[in-house]
Each structure stands twice: as C-alpha cells, then as structure tokens.
Amino acid sequence: MVDNSLPQWNPEEFIVKTNELESIIYEQDSLSILAGPGAGKTEMLAQKTIYLLEHDICPWPKKILFLTFKNEASKNVKDRVLKRSPEANDRFLSKTYHSFAKSIVDRFRLSLDENIRPNAGYDVIFKGKSDKNKVHISDVIKYASAIIKNNGKIPILYQECFTHIFLDEFQDTTLQQYELISLLFLNSQVKIICVGDLNQSIMLFAQAYPEIYRLVETDFKPKRKLLISNFRAGVKIKEFLSHFQPFVEKGVFNQITPHKNNNCTIHHFNDDINESEFITDYVLNKIASGFSPEDICILTRQKSSNYSAKLCDRLNNKGISNIVYDTFQDAIADPLGIIFSLILECALIKSPKAWSELLNLYIELNIIDENNDSDNNKLITFIDYFSTTKKATAFNDYKNVLDFITNIIDHIGLNLIKSKWPQHKSVEHTKYIWTELAKQLHKIYSNNIDRETIVMNFCGKQSLKIMNIHKCKGLEYKAVILIGFEDEAFWNYSDDNFEERCVLYVAFTRAKEEILITQSDYRDFISGGRKKTSQEITSKLRDNLIDKCGFILHLH
C-alpha cells in the first residue's frame, strides 16, 4: 500500500500506473529490482529519477548517478530523463562503469602508489600493459578502487554529492565493479537501486558475478521489488514465453502439451541460398502488410557478417535497406558517432532537427552565451564555415564526405570533445570509433544510392537490423528471426548451461509478434558449402521448442 503522506507521482498519460510501478516509485529505501522482459525498465528508471528530483527527495544541489555498461544504454536513459524533465540535465549523471572510474583516476591519481601512478593525460588502451603513459581498460576500475582505499576522504566527497545510485543490468556486474560501489557508498545514507533480469545474465563470460544479488542484499539490505508486467509481447509471444521461461530458470520444461503457435516457427533449409530467399520474401511480405524494415531484426549467435552475407546480398538486390551491427553499433552510439551522424545528416539532406541538435552541441561544447556578442559571433562564424564548406564540397564521393566531416569536427574542437567525453582522451579509442564510422560510411556509399537513403542507412533509420544476440539487449522488434540455429554457432550450448539458456531468452524476448528460427544443412562460409552443418547439439532443443512450446516446423 502506498503511503499517502508521500508526494504524489503524476506521470504522463501514456504511463500505465501498475501496482508494481507505484511500489517502486514511492519506495524510499534502497531497492533490488528484478525486471522481466518488456516490463518498461528504462521508463521506470526515468520516472523514478524525475520523482526523486522534483519532490526534493534528492535535494538540490545533490545528484543522482546512473551506472551502466555501454555508452548506448547510458545515452538512452539520459535522453529519456531529459525528455521528461529537461531541468534534470545538471543533476542526473549517466556514465558507464569505466568512464566513472576513469573520472576518479583523473581527479585523484596522485593518491595512487607512485609505482603504478599514470602521468597526467595518460591514454586508455585496449591491448598491451599499463605503464606511466597508458592504462589498460581492465586496470581503470582497479586503480580507482586503490585510490579510494588510499584516501578515506574520497568516499565522503561522493556521499555528499549523490543521494541515489542506479545500477543498470545489475546481474552483469563484476566483483571489481561492485567493490568500487561498495568502497564509495557502503554504510552511508546513499540509496542503491539495482535493476536487472537474472534471466538475461549473458555476461558471465566477462566475469560477471552470478550471485551478485545476494551480495548486494547482504551489504546494502535493499527491499526486493518485482517489475514483470510484459507490455512488449503480444498474446502469442507471451504464451510461448510462459512455456520457455521455466526452462530458462531450471533447465527443465514443464510437462504440458501446448497449443500449436503460428507466430513461432522453425524453418529448415538445404542451404543458405534457399534460406536467404525465404527470409527476403518474408520481409517483403511483411513490408507489404505495413511493417517497416526496422520492425524486423535478424539475430545470430555469433559472426553476424558471415551468417548474413547471402541474405544481405539478396536484401540489397530487392532494395531492402539493412545494416549489420557488429562493432559499428558501439561506434554509432559513442559521442563521436553521434556528432559524426549529425554532421552527415546536415550535409546530405535538409534536417532542421539534426541542425538544431548540432548547433546545441556546438553551443554546449564551446560554452556559448547567446546574449554575449563575442560568443554570438563565434556561433555565427561556425554556421558560416559549415555553410561555405558544404557549398564547396562535392558529396558524390565517399572521401569528400569524410573530409567534410573531419573539417567540421576540427572546427567544433576535438579537444573540447575530449574534455566533455574523457574516453576520447585515448587516441586508440578515438581511432577505433572513427575507423568503424568511416568503414560503415564507405560501405553504404559503395551502393550508389541517393543522399537521403545514405543518411537513413547510416543512422539505421528504416533499416532492417542484423546483429549478434549479445548486442540486442534492451531492443525490441515486431518480428525476430534467429538464423544459424546449428551446432557451429551454438557449439557451447547445453540444457545445463544457464548462460546459454539466457542467451536464447534474450533473443526471444526481443519479439513482440513473431519469432522465426532457421537452420541450414549447408553454409557457403563453412568449408565452402561442401561440409554439412552439425545439428546434434541443437536438435534436442529444437524438438523441445516444438513439443513443449508450440513451435511449428517447416521443411523447405
């Protein structure tokens, strides 16, 4: 029951005020939340943040810290909060664990022992060993924890700054990350709000601690809450998940004979040519029925580019926009990727929204006061430079476009970007992001398509997405097609392997209306299409999906 003495929560009309959600919003203590797929976790985080700020439960000038694993997730939640409450901008700090840890190292590095203390302006590297001029990414959190242990005043500073710490995808948290949070906030008044889904714990391979919820409940004593109402899936998908979820949790299917489910199908092909023809026809039919290409997602267990090569050729021949999200997905969500995309859009098409966002970025980075004549002149100079350079550039060539984007970023100020987003102080990180962006732009330009389509394809708008399963967490589509359901892709699968069961759960819970699974006896990239694929490991699960979950098998 909600305490009537608490300030009232009055969300927008489109928010469904379930008892679960109200219980979480109104709770004043630390929380340990188990969220189900499609339950609106991101919106819940935004609503909780706004409630805390607007009702001074987080009193000015204190802040809320949101920690997650990927830049994309960090940006998504920040955007959601600011869309609901623009004034929260200065009081909601959204960071990845590594960027947060790096901010501690940058600020207090002199507290580190001299033998490991990096020099000012050190680089973050992804290969090699740490030294005075560079710190390996895996050492950043370790160094931050060492700093806190060496200086007992640092936790007090952070406890004075923040009232609430949100820990996203908490089931994937490593012991090293958890130690950092504990060193800063254990035995304080700061509230910890950890949110995740144990059934989506697919980062165990990256040392995530499988009993992390028990650890936080012992240390911080949060109240347990459930958020399991699934608003994403349609009736047919919910019906399937009700049969599949017990298997994910226990490794055993319930002994219930389900109804046949026309929205959940398995398709077996002789080769990947037939597979690609079928999927392309399926996509065309869906588009004809009113789907957008971006309503459909192709998932693979691994090697998305290899498994989708034939399919991409076929889709391109039929004029269906598609994009393979591999390393590019991280690049496009990076701050540099966002700036790159905005410049590209403003260069190639008329887009008032993109132009407004680009100018706002310039104003923010350069700390422009539009009431100051000198600052105003600086902004006008940038606008004139953009316009003049755009008129002088022939955008029919990929290299010209890349040079244009480079010039605009130089004019905005790469040093300002580095100051705003510390990850770009790493030359290696910036080079990696830039290479991925340039590679994708070159690939799209090679298709000789019009400017608007180039922008749409690069930004992923109106495009069918193709990605590995571990890239799709938090996303949703009307139709999900899992291709390559063979032993070569699922070589580590076993009914006893909780992590692998979770991988499939993540894939299936991305779908709102339909799930398709494909198998092929021969694939061109496997032994040149001469060796038959193995389906010994996956056949048992396939049969259980048919017998215990209602999937329908189609032999082509």
What are the binding residues for ATP? 35-42
Q: Show the beta-strand stretches assigned E in 429-530.
A: 464-468, 477-482, 511-522
For 384-393, which contacts have Cβ atoms below 8 Å and span 24 or more sequence positions? 385/411, 386/346, 386/411, 390/347, 393/347
Asked whether the beta carbons of 39 and 229 are under 8 A apart, the reply is yes
Question: Which residue shows structure tokens 């999900």?
Answer: 480
Q: How far apart are CA 166 and CA 23, in angstroms?
A: 17
Q: How far apart are CA 45 and CA 191, in angstroms?
A: 14
Q: How far apart are CA 106 and CA 95, in angstroms?
A: 15
| Single-letter residue type at 129 | K
Which residue intervals of 109-152 are DSSP H helices? 137-150
Asked whether the beta carbons of 515 and 503 are under 8 A apart, the reply is no
Nearest to 203 by CA among 175, 179, 171: 171
Residue by residue, DSSP assigns 43-71 as HHHHHHHHHHHHTTSS-TT-EEEEEES-H
Q: How far apart are CA 320 and CA 449, in angstroms?
A: 12
